[in-house]
Amino acid sequence: MTRKIAFDYDRALDRATDLFWKKGYAETGLRDLLKVMEIGEGSFYNTLKSKKQLYLTCLQRYEDTVVHLRLAALMAAPTAADGIRAFFGAVLDRLDNPETPSRLCMLAAMETEEVLQDSELRKRAREGLETLQGLLCQRLSQDRDNGLLAPSLAPQIIAAVITTYVQGLWRMALVEYDRPGFERQIDAFLTALGL
């Protein structure tokens, strides 16, 4: 007989996701999670198994909600250039939101020594980066093949450069965030890439 969950699972996951997003994996303790999720230790282990398993579940929840909006903007635009600019627009919109737990993307926050020492978490971090790079590469390749971008454009390299840039953008936003300044930077950066 399956045990019935004795707490609001979705609400608890939302709260755990926000806490991991705000503090990061290494800085989030089990006591903090239990308190914010409003559950006991027994319920936690019976349902969620471990802090790492909860973190992986929260990362998926983050991808399904926050990251999904960015990637949808990237894929829905008529051209790769428009899609990439829309992607960055979605990033800046999230940074503008005062209810966002951190200026650092939850996936970008995985790229710390503590997280990457764990092989399963390292693999998960790599998958997140590869997903973004793959979609960027797909859009760029389509436009190059359709004559909308220069034939000499190297989609894989440009996708990797954009992925690297966005990682730095989130870290710079932690120091100081000025949307008009970031918009000018993004425009100059993409224009230099031929986008």
All structural domains of the chain: 62-192 (1.10.357)
Q: Residue 95: its pLDDT value, please?
A: 95
Could you give the residue ranges of the DSSP H alpha helices within 63-118? 68-76, 80-96, 113-116
Please check the confidence at residue 111 and state whether its pLDDT lies above 90.
no
Q: Residue 43: its pLDDT value, please?
A: 79
* CA proximity to 82, closest of 137, 138, 140, 129: 140
The two three-digit tokens of residue 69, written as one number: 């909006």
Please check the confidence at residue 181 and state whether its pLDDT lies above 50.
yes
How many other β-carbons are positioned within 10 Å of the β-carbon of residue 176? 9
Please check the confidence at residue 6 and state whether its pLDDT lies above 80.
no
Q: Which residue has 């428009």 as its token pair?
A: 82
- Taking the C-alpha atoms of residue 58 and residue 54, their distance in angstroms, rounded to an integer, is 6
The two three-digit tokens of residue 139, written as one number: 């859009």
**How confident is residue 46, by pLDDT bands cut at 50, 70 and 90?**
confident
**How confident is residue 5, by pLDDT bands cut at 50, 70 and 90?**
low
- Taking the C-alpha atoms of residue 193 and residue 189, their distance in angstroms, rounded to an integer, is 6
Q: Residue 1: its pLDDT value, please?
A: 41
* CA proximity to 47, closest of 87, 93, 90, 4: 4
What is the rounded average pLDDT of the residues 54-67?
Answer: 94
CA quadruple 100, 62, 158, 191: dihedral sign: negative
* CA proximity to 5, closest of 36, 34, 39, 30: 39
Entry pTM: 0.90
- Taking the C-alpha atoms of residue 24 and residue 16, their distance in angstroms, rounded to an integer, is 11
The two three-digit tokens of residue 102, written as one number: 């951190």
Q: Residue 7: its pLDDT value, please?
A: 67
Q: Residue 80: its pLDDT value, please?
A: 97
Q: Residue 113: its pLDDT value, please?
A: 87
